[in-house]
C-alpha cells in the first residue's frame, strides 16, 4: 500500500511512501505519521491511500511510524481541506494548517494525564500484610498497603497527606507489583467562569415555528436543499431558532457547530448557549490558551461535547457525526480569512454540510447579496421572520443633510450638526446615553467638495464608485477600469477652491465632542485604542453601568451589543463608506447603518437615530426606512447591471514587492500567461496599482478576473501562483471571491 503524505514544510505536493506491513491495518486517511525526508525525519499527514505509485517501489521509502504526539485528522476534514486548497488556490499545507489549531498540529501540548494508584490484587495485599505485620523493617510498607486498601484508587498527591504514607515504601511496593498504576486522560471540563442558570426552550412564535419546521424537513432529507437562509429582523428570535434546531439535532444523536463573528462571541451570547446546553457545549474563544484549545479540540474529537460555538475557525471542529452548522450574521465580513487560505467560512460551511450530509442555517437581518441570490435561484431555502418577538417600535430615524447647515466658522470643527448637538444635549439633561459613530477606517481618502458635495468619480464606472486619490502621483485612478485622470485643483462642479480629502477619524470626533459637551463623560472605542479584548470589555462595562454618557467609536460598536440606556445614536458621516472603491460599498454601508441604528432604544424608551450625510443616497434612504427588501432589490439590480458578484464570480490577484517596476513587470507577465484563458464570459482586468498602492514599503498591484465558468482559469491561476517560478522579493496572493479589493 502507498500513502500520499503531506509534510509540514511548505510544499504544495504529496510524497509517496510505502506503508509497512505492521501499519497497514492502522493507517488511514488523516493519520499523523513520521516519515524519512532527505537525511532527516519529518511529520506529516496521510492525505490519501493508493495501491500504486507513479514511482518504482524501490525508489520509495517506508513510513517510519505513527506520530505518537499528535492526533489524526478526521477523514471528512481532509476532504474539506482538499477542497479549500483547490478552490481557494492555496497550498495543501496551508489548508491542513487551517483544519487544525496550532497547538494540536505541533503536538507540543500533550493531553494531561494523571497517574492513579491502587492495590493490584486484594488477596495478595492481605497476605502480605498478615505475613509481614510483625517485621519492623517492613512496617512502613504494610501501613501504605493498609492505607491504599482503605482509600481505594487515587493520585499520589492525594495519599501524600496521609499519616501512613511513605515515599520509599510506596515506590518499593510499586516496583514489586503490589501497587499498580493506571493512566487516565484528564477531562478539563467546561469553562465555569461564566455562571449560568439552566433554561428551557421558549414557546415558538409562528415565525419560529415555520423556520423550525423547515429545518426539520431539511434534517430528515425531505427537501433537496441542505441550506436555509434565515432572514430574520433583529429581535425576531433567530437565536431561539438556532437553540431549538440544535436540540433537534442532538436528539438525533448528531452534533452541531455555531459560527458567530468574533465580536459577537461576548459573554451575552455564550451565556444563552451555555444556559441551554451546559457541558455539552465547547466555546472556542480566540482568547483560549494553547493548552485550552488543545483540550477543547480533543473533547470534540473524542465525542465528549456535541456543540461547538466560535468564530471562523470553529467551522473545523472535528465532529464525526455533524448534523447542523449555524452561521449567525452570515453577511459579516469577518468570515473571510485574509491570509492563505483565503476562505469564506460561510461558503465552506455550505461545502462541509454537503460533504457530511449536514444541514446549514445561515442567519441574518441583512443577508449578503450572495446568499439572497442563492435563495432566489433555489439553491438555498428562504425563511423570512419579519415580526419582532417583543413588538418594540423601531427607532425614529432622521437624515440630516449637512449641505444645508451654515458653513462653519474657520477653525471650528464641523463634525456635528446643530440637530445632532441638540439631540445629545437632551440626552445629557435626561441622564440617558448616546453613541456617536464614525466609520473611519484606514484607507486612501477620497476627494470631495465640502461646498456642493461633489465627489470625484470615474466616468467609465459611474454609479457609486469613486476614485482613489493618489497624493504622490496627483491623479485620480479607478481600479475597476484602470482609468486615470489628473486630480482636479478646484471643484469641477462649482469651482470651489478648497476641495479636500474627506475623512476625519474618531479621535478628532472625540475631541470635538469633549469641546461641545464640557462635563459629559466621554469614552472612545476603536481599533487604535483597543489593544486587547480586555480594553474592549472595560469600556463597554463602564458604558453599561452608566459611568459614561457618550460613547464615540468605529464600527466596533455597531454589532449586537445591548445597552438599555442608549436612546440616541448619531452617525457622523453616514455616507463615508459609500466612497470605498469596492462594489460592496453600498451593501456594507446599509448593513452598518441598520446595525448601528439598532443600538438605539433597546431599553424601555423609544430610540432616536440621526444619520448625517453630505449627499443624496438611495442607500441612506433605504437604511433610514429600515427597508432591507427595497435596498436589496436596488443593490442586486446594480450588481446585475455591472455584472458583479453574485451575477459573476471574481478572483483577485495581488502582487507585492519593494521594487515597483519588478512588481509591475512580473504582474504583466503573469497576466500575459493567463490571457490564453480569455473567454467571452470572462473579463480579465489587467494589473494596475491597487487602491492602497503601498503598504509597509511594499508596492501592490492588483489584477482581477471576473465572469462565469472560472474553474479552468482558477486552476491555471493556482498552478501559476503556487508552482511557477516567482522572482525573489515578489509575492503573489490569490484571493478567490475577494471581500476586499483595496
Ligand atoms: P435575534 O437573534 O433574531 O435577534 P433573539 O433570539 O435574540 O432574536 O430574540 C430576541 C429576544 O426575544 C430575546 O430576549 C429572546 O429571549 C426573546 N424570545 C425569542 N423567542 C421567544 C419566544 N418564542 N417567546 C418569548 N420570547 C422570545
Ligand atoms: Zn463643488
Please state the three-class secondary structure of 493-544 as a single string: CCCCCCCEEECCCHHHHHHHHHHHCCCCCEEEECCCCCCCHHHHHHHHHHHH
Q: Is the CB of 364 under 6 A from ligand 1?
A: no
Average pLDDT over residues 541-562: 80
Contact 160, 182 (CB under 8 A): no
What is the CATH class of 396-441+505-638? alpha beta
- Whether 693 shows a pLDDT value over 80: the answer reads no
User: In this structure, which CATH number among 3.40.718.10, 3.30.1330.20, 3.30.70.600, 3.40.50.10950 belongs to the domain 649-736?
Assistant: 3.30.70.600
Ligand at minimal distance from the CA of 452 is: 2
Query: Which backbone phi and psi does 462 adopt, to 5 degrees?
Result: 30, -140
How much distance in Å is there from the Cα of 342 to the middle of ligand 2?
A: 41
Name the segment(s) of the chain with CATH classification 3.40.1440.
2-75+90-105
Per-residue confidence band for 466, with pLDDT thresholds at 50, 70 and 90:
very low
Q: Which atom of ligand 1 is nearest to the CA of 239?
A: 6
Cα dist from 190 to 112, 183, 257, 271, 277, whole Å: 15, 22, 16, 13, 11
Say how far apart CA 186 and CA 109 lie, in whole Å.
13
Q: Is the CB of 386 under 6 A from ligand 1?
A: no
Q: Is the CB of 204 under 6 A from ligand 1?
A: yes
Mutate to test the pocket of ligand 1, among 196, 205, 238, 239 (most ligand atoms within 8 A of CB): 239
Name the segment(s) of the chain with CATH classification 3.40.50.300.
206-389, 396-441+505-638
Q: What is the pLDDT of residues 364-378, one digit of tens each?
A: 999 999 999 999 999
- Whether 194 shows a pLDDT value over 70: the answer reads no
Ligand at minimal distance from the CA of 204 is: 1
Q: Is the CB of 239 under 6 A from ligand 1?
A: yes
For 2-75+90-105, CATH gives: 3.40.1440
In 3D space, the residue among 398, 345, 412, 354 whose CA is nearest the CA of residue 380 turns out to be: 354
Q: Is the CB of 363 under 6 A from ligand 1?
A: no
Q: Which atom of ligand 1 is nearest to the CA of 560?
A: 4
Low-confidence winner among 522-531, 563-572, 682-691 (lowest mean pLDDT) = 522-531
Q: Is the CB of 366 under 6 A from ligand 1?
A: no
Ligand at minimal distance from the CA of 387 is: 1
How much distance in Å is there from the Cα of 612 to the middle of ligand 2?
A: 19
Name, of 326-330, 574-578, 603-607, the range with top average pLDDT. 326-330
- Whether 8 shows a pLDDT value over 80: the answer reads no
Q: Looking at residue 443, what is its pLDDT? A: 30
Q: Looking at residue 498, what is its pLDDT? A: 78
Q: Looking at residue 690, what is its pLDDT? A: 86
Q: Looking at residue 189, what is its pLDDT? A: 46
Contact 620, 656 (CB under 8 A): no
Say how far apart CA 417 and CA 404 lie, in whole Å.
10
In 3D space, the residue among 623, 627, 624, 613 whose CA is nearest the CA of residue 419 turns out to be: 613
Q: Looking at residue 58, what is its pLDDT? A: 82
Residues that place a CB less than 5 A from ion ligand 2? 449, 451-452, 454, 491, 493-494, 496
Average pLDDT over residues 23-31: 90
Per-residue confidence band for 473, with pLDDT thresholds at 50, 70 and 90:
low
Name, of 309-313, 487-491, 522-526, the range with top average pLDDT. 309-313
How much distance in Å is there from the Cα of 409 to the middle of ligand 1?
A: 49
How much distance in Å is there from the Cα of 609 to the middle of ligand 2?
A: 28
Ligand at minimal distance from the CA of 239 is: 1
Cα dist from 69 to 77, 319, 693, whole Å: 20, 20, 45
Residue nearest to atom 18 of ligand 1 (CA): 237
Helix (H/G/I), strand (E/B), else coil: 554: coil
Say how far apart CA 308 and CA 370 lie, in whole Å.
26
Q: Is the CB of 203 under 6 A from ligand 1?
A: yes
Ligand at minimal distance from the CA of 391 is: 1
Name, of 34-43, 310-319, 551-560, the range with top average pLDDT. 310-319
- Whether 614 shows a pLDDT value over 60: the answer reads yes
Average pLDDT over residues 642-665: 94
Share of the chain above pLDDT 70, in %: 87
Average pLDDT over residues 104-127: 79
Say how far apart CA 638 and CA 462 lie, in whole Å.
11
Q: Which atom of ligand 1 is nearest to the CA of 234?
A: 4
Q: Is the CB of 234 under 6 A from ligand 1?
A: yes
For 206-389, CATH gives: 3.40.50.300
Q: What is the pLDDT of residues 435-462, one digit of tens each?
A: 998 875 423 346 677 788 777 766 665 4
Q: Which atom of ligand 1 is nearest to the CA of 205?
A: 23
Name the segment(s) of the chain with CATH classification 3.30.70.600.
649-736
Per-residue confidence band for 485, with pLDDT thresholds at 50, 70 and 90:
confident
Record the pTM: 0.79
- Whether 192 shows a pLDDT value over 50: the answer reads no
How much distance in Å is there from the Cα of 466 to the middle of ligand 2?
A: 15
Ligand at minimal distance from the CA of 448 is: 2
Q: What is the mean pLDDT of the chain?
A: 85
In 3D space, the residue among 312, 369, 315 whose CA is nearest the CA of residue 339 turns out to be: 312
Q: What is the pLDDT of residues 250-298, one digit of tens each?
A: 999 999 999 998 766 677 788 889 999 999 999 998 778 888 888 898 8
Say how far apart CA 297 and CA 307 lie, in whole Å.
12
Q: Which atom of ligand 1 is nearest to the CA of 242?
A: 6
Average pLDDT over residues 381-392: 88
Mutate to test the pocket of ligand 1, among 235, 383, 598 (most ligand atoms within 8 A of CB): 235
Cα dist from 602 to 236, 390, 392, 540, whole Å: 14, 11, 9, 15
All cell numbers assigned to 230: 434565515
Residue nearest to atom 9 of ligand 1 (CA): 237
Average pLDDT over residues 319-326: 96
- Whether 529 shows a pLDDT value over 80: the answer reads no
Q: Is the CB of 244 under 6 A from ligand 1?
A: no
Mutate to test the pocket of ligand 1, among 389, 391, 599 (most ligand atoms within 8 A of CB): 389
Q: Is the CB of 65 under 6 A from ligand 1?
A: no
Q: Looking at residue 329, what is its pLDDT? A: 93
Q: What is the pLDDT of residues 714-734, one digit of tens each?
A: 999 999 999 999 999 999 999
Mutate to test the pocket of ligand 1, among 237, 245, 260, 383 (most ligand atoms within 8 A of CB): 237
- Whether 412 shows a pLDDT value over 70: the answer reads no
Strand order in the sheet with 484-486: 468-470, 475-477, 484-486
- Whether 494 shows a pLDDT value over 60: the answer reads yes
How much distance in Å is there from the Cα of 388 to the middle of ligand 1?
A: 8
Q: What is the pLDDT of residues 32-86, one digit of tens each?
A: 899 998 888 888 889 889 888 888 878 899 999 988 777 788 889 999 999 999 9
Amino acid at each position: 500500500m502507498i500513502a500520499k503524505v503531506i509534510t509540514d514544510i511548505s510544499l504544495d505536493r504529496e510524497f509517496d511512501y510505502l506503508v509497512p506491513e505492521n501499519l497497514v491495518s492502522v493507517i488511514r486517511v488523516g493519520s499523523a505519521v513520521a516519515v524519512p525526508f532527505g537525511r532527516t525525519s519529518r511529520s506529516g499527514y496521510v492525505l490519501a491511500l493508493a495501491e500504486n505509485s507513479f514511482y518504482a517501489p524501490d525508489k520509495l521509502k517506508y513510513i517510519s511510524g505513527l506520530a505518537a504526539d499528535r492526533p489524526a485528522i478526521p477523514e471528512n476534514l481532509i476532504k474539506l481541506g482538499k477542497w479549500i486548497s483547490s478552490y481557494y488556490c492555496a497550498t495543501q499545507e496551508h489548508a491542513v494548517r487551517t483544519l487544525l489549531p496550532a497547538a494540536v498540529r505541533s503536538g507540543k501540548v500533550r493531553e494531561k494525564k494523571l497517574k492513579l494508584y491502587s492495590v493490584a490484587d486484594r488477596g495478595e495485599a492481605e497476605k502480605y500484610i498478615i505475613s509481614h505485620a510483625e517485621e519492623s523493617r517492613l512496617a512502613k510498607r504494610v501501613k501504605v498497603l493498609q492505607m491504599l486498601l482503605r482509600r481505594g484508587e487515587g493520585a499520589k498527591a492525594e495519599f501524600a497527606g496521609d499519616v501512613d504514607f511513605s515515599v520509599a515504601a510506596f515506590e518499593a511496593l510499586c516496583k514489586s507489583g503490589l501497587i499498580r498504576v493506571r493512566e487516565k486522560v484528564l477531562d478539563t471540563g467546561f469553562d465555569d467562569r461564566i455562571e449560568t442558570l439552566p433554561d428551557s426552550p421558549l414557546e415558538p412564535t409562528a415565525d419560529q415555528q415555520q423556520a423550525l419546521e423547515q429545518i426539520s424537513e431539511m434534517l430528515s432529507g425531505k427537501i433537496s436543499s441542505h441550506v436555509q437562509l434565515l432572514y430574520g429582523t433583529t429581535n425576531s428570535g433567530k437565536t431561539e431558532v438556532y437553540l431549538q434546531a440544535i436540540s433537534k439535532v442532538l436528539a438525533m444523536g448528531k452534533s452541531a457547530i455555531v459560527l458567530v463573528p468574533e465580536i459577537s462571541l461576548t459573554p451575552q451570547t455564550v451565556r444563552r448557549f451555555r444556559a441551554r446546553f451546559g457541558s455539552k457545549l465547547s466555546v472556542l474563544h480566540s482568547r483560549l490558551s494553547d493548552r485550552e484549545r488543545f483540550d477543547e479540540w480533543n473533547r470534540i474529537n473524542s465525542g465528549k461535547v456535541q456543540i461547538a460555538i466560535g468564530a471562523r475557525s470553529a467551522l473545523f471542529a472535528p465532529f464525526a457525526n455533524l448534523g447542523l452548522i449555524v452561521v449567525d450574521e452570515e453577511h459579516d465580513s469577518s468570515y473571510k480569512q485574509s491570509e492563505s487560505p483565503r476562505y469564506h467560512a460561510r461558503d465552506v460551511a455550505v461545502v462541509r454540510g454537503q460533504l457530511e450530509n449536514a444541514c446549514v442555517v445561515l442567519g441574518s437581518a441583512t443577508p449578503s447579496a450572495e446568499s439572497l441570490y442563492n435563495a432566489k435561484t433555489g439553491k438555498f431555502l428562504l425563511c423570512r421572520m419579519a415580526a419582532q418577538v417583543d413588538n418594540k417600535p423601531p427607532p425614529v430615524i432622521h437624515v440630516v443633510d449637512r449641505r444645508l447647515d451654515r458653513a462653519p466658522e474657520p477653525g471650528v470643527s464641523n463634525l456635528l450638526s446643530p440637530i445632532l448637538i441638540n439631540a445629545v444635549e437632551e440626552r445629557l439633561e435626561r441622564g440617558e446615553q448616546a453613541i456617536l459613530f464614525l466609520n473611519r477606517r484606514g484607507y486612501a481618502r477620497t476627494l470631495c467638495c465640502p461646498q456642493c458635495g461633489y465627489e470625484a468619480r470615474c466616468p467609465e464606472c459611474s454609479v457609486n464608485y469613486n476614485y482613489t486619490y493618489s497624493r504622490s502621483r496627483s491623479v485620480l485612478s479607478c481600479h475597476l477600469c484602470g482609468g486615470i485622470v489628473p486630480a482636479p485643483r478646484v471643484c469641477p462642479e462649482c469651482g470651489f477652491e478648497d476641495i479636500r480629502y474627506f475623512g476625519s477619524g474618531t479621535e478628532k470626533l472625540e475631541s470635538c465632542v469633549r469641546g461641545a459637551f464640557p462635563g459629559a463623560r466621554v469614552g472612545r472605542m476603536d481599533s487604535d485604542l483597543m489593544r486587547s479584548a480586555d480594553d474592549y470589555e472595560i469600556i463597554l462595562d463602564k458604558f453599561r453601568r452608566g459611568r459614561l454618557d457618550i460613547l464615540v467609536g468605529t464600527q466596533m460598536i455597531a454589532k449586537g451589543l445591548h445597552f438599555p440606556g442608549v436612546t440616541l445614536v448619531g452617525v457622523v458621516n453616514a455616507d463615508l463608506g459609500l466612497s470605498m472603491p469596492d462594489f460592496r460599498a453600498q451593501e456594507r454601508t446599509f448593513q452598518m447603518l441598520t446595525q448601528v441604528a439598532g443600538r438605539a432604544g433597546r431599553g424601555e424608551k423609544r430610540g432616536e437615530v440621526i444619520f448625517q450625510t453630505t449627499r443624496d443616497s438611495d442607500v441612506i434612504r433605504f437604511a433610514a426606512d429600515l427597508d432591507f427588501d427595497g435596498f436589496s432589490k436596488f443593490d442586486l439590480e446594480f450588481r446585475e447591471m455591472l455584472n458583479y458578484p453574485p451575477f459573476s464570480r471574481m478572483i483577485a490577484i495581488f502582487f507585492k514587492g519593494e521594487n515597483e517596476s519588478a512588481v509591475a513587470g512580473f504582474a504583466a507577465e503573469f497576466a500575459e500567461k493567463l490571457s490564453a484563458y480569455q473567454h467571452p464570459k470572462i473579463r480579465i482586468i489587467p494589473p494596475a496599482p491597487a487602491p492602497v498602492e503601498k503598504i509597509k514599503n511594499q508596492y501592490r498591484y492588483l489584477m482581477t478576473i471576473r465572469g462565469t465558468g472560472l474553474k479552468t482559469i482558477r486552476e491555471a491561476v493556482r498552478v501559476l501562483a503556487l508552482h511557477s517560478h516567482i522572482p525573489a522579493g515578489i509575492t503573489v496572493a490569490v484571493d478567490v471571491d475577494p471581500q476586499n479589493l483595496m
